[in-house]
Amino acid sequence: MKITAEEVKKVALLSRLSFTDKEIEELEDSMSGILTYMEELNQYDTENVAPMAHAVEQFNVMREDKPHTSFTNEQALMNAPEKEDGYFKVPRII
């Protein structure tokens, strides 16, 4: 499918973008190539293909979640530069 300069300018206007005449010519070729490729992909039957986010199936490698003892409040605050009433004291940001 061939995209015209007017169509590129219309898309640019809707996108609030501005292009030089040379860039518009490059975008014509690029957008035409994309639409030609999409037309080629449309010839394949994808009716029974499940949607996916990645072409290759990926799995997270995670350790088993095992409960264990944690730091006490005193241990957590042991090396704190400043503490107050059992909490870390940090400079006010707001």
Domains of the chain (ranges, CATH numbers) = 1-43 (1.10.20)
% of the chain at pLDDT higher than 90: 66
pLDDT tens-place string over residues 51-86: 888 888 878 888 888 999 999 999 999 999 999 999
Of the candidates 67, 80, 1, 76, the one whose C-alpha atom is nearest the C-alpha of residue 33 is 1
- pLDDT at res. 58: 79
3-state secondary structure of 87: strand
pLDDT tens-place string over residues 9-67: 999 999 999 999 999 999 999 999 999 999 998 999 988 888 888 888 878 888 888 99
Residue type, 60: N
